[in-house]
């Protein structure tokens, strides 16, 4: 079950993901895979994040999100007209309800730029909606492994910021530029 999920989510991006040090390179295998992310588990979490946006499934969310899950994103809050600097989702249940109600967005991973024991950072692009618009984003995932097996890594925190103006236009919103500033 778990390994088929890994295979399925990895297949979503396949060769589109490239890292300079490559699979099993610089860091891969040098750490205890139950205590530190390696290439495989970092890639699993990045592609799981992708699949939550591109092809949401409650099963994936239940599996990959930690029980203490939080999502920080002023971009999401701006997009939905809420005050910023608070979490966009304060729990796994809230994320499942909120994200689960969104239409799928064809998010593609441009690169997994870095990972260490606890974190994965990736860049992504999505082209969709009116135009279509091209939306770029950067996502930092903090991982945890409360079950302590090498294939039980989960996402505890998502920090994601993206071009919410382009996203707004993609969903049919319009943008009025500010009036010219008086010259001083």
Ligand X SMILES: *[C@@H]1O[C@H](CO)[C@@H](O)[C@H](O)[C@H]1NC(C)=O
Note the residues at the interface with ligand X (CB under 6 A).
116-119, 140, 142
- Is 40 or 54 the residue whose CB approaches ligand X more closely? 40
For every residue of 81-133, DSSP letters joined together read T--SSS-SB-SHHHHHHHHHTSPP--EEEEEEEEE-SSEEEEEEEEEETTTTE
Strand-pair partners of 83: none
Whichever of 127 and 140 has its CB closer to ligand X, that residue is 140
- Minimal distance, residue 42 CB to ligand X, in Å: 12
Shortest spacing between CB 116 and ligand X, in angstroms:
5
SS3 for 23-48, per residue? Answer: CCCCCCCCCCCCCCCCHHHHHHHHHH
| Nearest residue (beta carbon) to ligand X | 119
Under 8 Å between Cβ of 159 and 139? yes
Q: How far is the CB of 24 from ligand X (least distance, A)?
A: 21
Q: How far is the CB of 97 from ligand X (least distance, A)?
A: 25
- Are residues 39 and 19 in contact, defined by beta-carbon separation less than 8 angstroms? yes
Residue 5 or 143 having the CB closest to ligand X: 143
């Amino acid at each position: 079950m778990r390994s088929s999920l890994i295979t399925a989510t990895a297949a979503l991006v396949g060769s589109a993901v490239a890292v300079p040090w490559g699979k099993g390179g610089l860091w891969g295998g040098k750490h205890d895979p139950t205590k530190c992310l390696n290439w495989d588990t970092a890639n699993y979490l990045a592609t799981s994040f992708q699949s939550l946006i591109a092809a949401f499934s409650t099963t994936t969310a239940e599996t990959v999100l930690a029980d203490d899950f939080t999502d920080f994103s002023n971009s999401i809050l701006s997009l939905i007209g809420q005050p910023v600097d608070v979490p966009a989702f304060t729990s796994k249940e809230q994320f499942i309800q909120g994200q689960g109600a969104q239409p799928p967005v064809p998010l593609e991973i441009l690169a997994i730029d870095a990972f260490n024991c606890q974190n994965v950072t990736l860049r992504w692009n999505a082209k969709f909606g009116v135009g279509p618009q091209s939306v770029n984003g950067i996502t930092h995932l903090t991982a945890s492994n409360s079950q302590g097996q090498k294939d039980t890594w989960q996402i505890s925190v998502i920090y994601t910021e993206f071009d919410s103006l382009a996203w707004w236009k993609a969903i049919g919103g319009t943008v009025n530029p500010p009036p010219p500033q008086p010259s001083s």
